């Protein structure tokens, strides 16, 4: 388990790099300070130990490493640990850990830059098709059907939304994310995943509107909600469906 947690932290450090480099359309490179551009010393490449020993400031300009970095590392360590505890050292654990990593990367770029990148979603879809042969929780036919359903349903929602209120809350990146989620959860569970994601996003949007923290003109990124719906359905989809239709 210790190794799995450590792996989660290290993968988290990689996700942090990709989350900064990919939206800037540059090749991934060694960590550097986003303010002064100085290369980070090796002990800051993984931010969690740097934070723990209070070396979380750039030695050159003193800027704090974004809190996103240790959160992503801790979050992935926790999620990897959970998956290992639930599935043991199996193919399902390996693929679910990869899907989780991709989900976190997409959540980071969508929350920070409002971007869900093809360079992430398209390889993710290919990986999920391969995974459907190994994970055993769904078959490849269910995966393909789920992927298509996710794509079509979200495309319809985006088109409808654009027609009703103009371009805004969701876009092409969300459509490809929904296809990836469908490939991971399969059909018909993709319906549950999208429903959970859209409902939770709607509830949070409504609360933010009511509290006047956001207006209709600046919609929240929807990707993280779709991701939570997709991840929860990936793990507990069947249980939730049984409970709901009991």
Residue ranges in contact with Zn ion by CB under 5 A? 33, 35-36, 58, 60-61, 63
CA of residue 13 relative to chain centroid, distance: 15
Task: Give min distance, CB of 59 to Zn ion, in A.
Answer: 8
Place of tokens 């590392």: 73
- Tokens representing 10 are 């290290």
Separation CA 191–CA 175 (nearest Å): 14
Q: Which is nearer to Zn ion, 35 or 78 (CB)?
A: 35
Query: Please, which residue, 32 or 129, has the CB nearer to Zn ion?
Result: 32
Q: Which is nearer to Zn ion, 28 or 62 (CB)?
A: 62
Nearer to Zn ion, 44 or 185 (CB): 44
Pick 61 or 67: Cβ nearer Zn ion: 61
Contact between 121 and 176 under an 8 Å Cβ cutoff? The reply is yes
| Residue 89, both tokens | 């050292």
| Nearest distance in Å: CB 57, Zn ion | 8
State the maximum Cα–Cα separation within the chain, in Å, rounded to a whole number. Answer: 60
Q: How far is the CB of 234 from Zn ion (least distance, A)?
A: 38
Closest distance to Zn ion from the beta carbon of 41 (Å): 11
| Tokens standing for residue 54 | 């209070």
Shortest distance, CB of residue 63 to Zn ion, whole angstroms?
5
Length of the chain: 246
Contacts of 53 (CB under 8 A, 6+ apart): none
* Interhelix angle 2-21/91-113, nearest 10 degrees: 30
Contact 116, 106 (CB under 8 A): yes
- Residue with Cβ nearer Zn ion (31 or 201): 31
CA 185 – CA 163 distance, rounded (Å): 29
User: Containing H/E element for 180?
Assistant: helix 172-185
Name the residue nearer to Zn ion (CB basis): 60 or 200.
60
CB of 60 to Zn ion, least distance (A): 5
Smallest separation, CB 35 to Zn ion (Å): 5
96-111 b/e with 16+ CB inside 10 Å = b? bbbbbbbbbbbbbbbe
């Amino acid at each position: 388990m210790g190794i799995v947690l450590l792996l989660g932290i290290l993968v988290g450090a990689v996700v942090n790099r990709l989350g900064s480099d990919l939206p800037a359309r540059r090749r991934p490179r060694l960590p550097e300070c986003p303010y002064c551009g100085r290369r980070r010393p090796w002990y800051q490449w993984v931010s969690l130990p740097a934070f723990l020993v209070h070396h979380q400031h750039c030695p050159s300009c003193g800027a704090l490493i974004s809190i996103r970095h240790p959160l992503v590392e801790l979050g992935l360590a926790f999620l990897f640990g959970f998956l290992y505890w639930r599935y043991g050292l199996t193919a399902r654990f390996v693929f679910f850990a990869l899907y989780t990593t991709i989900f976190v990367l997409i959540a980071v770029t969508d929350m920070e830059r409002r971007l869900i990148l093809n360079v992430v979603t398209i390889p993710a879809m290919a990986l999920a098709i391969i995974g459907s042969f190994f994970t055993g929780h769904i078959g490849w036919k269910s995966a393909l059907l789920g992927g298509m359903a996710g794509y079509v349903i979200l495309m319809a929602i985006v088109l409808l939304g654009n027609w009703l209120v103009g371009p805004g809350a969701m876009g092409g990146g969300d459509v490809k994310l929904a296809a990836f989620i469908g490939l991971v959860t399969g059909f018909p569970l993709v319906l549950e995943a999208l429903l959970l994601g859209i409902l939770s996003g709607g509830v949070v949007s409504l609360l933010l509107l009511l509290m006047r923290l956001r207006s209709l003109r600046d919609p929240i990124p929807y990707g993280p909600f779709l991701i939570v719906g997709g991840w929860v359905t990936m793990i507990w989809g069947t249980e939730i469906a049984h409970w709901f239709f009991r």
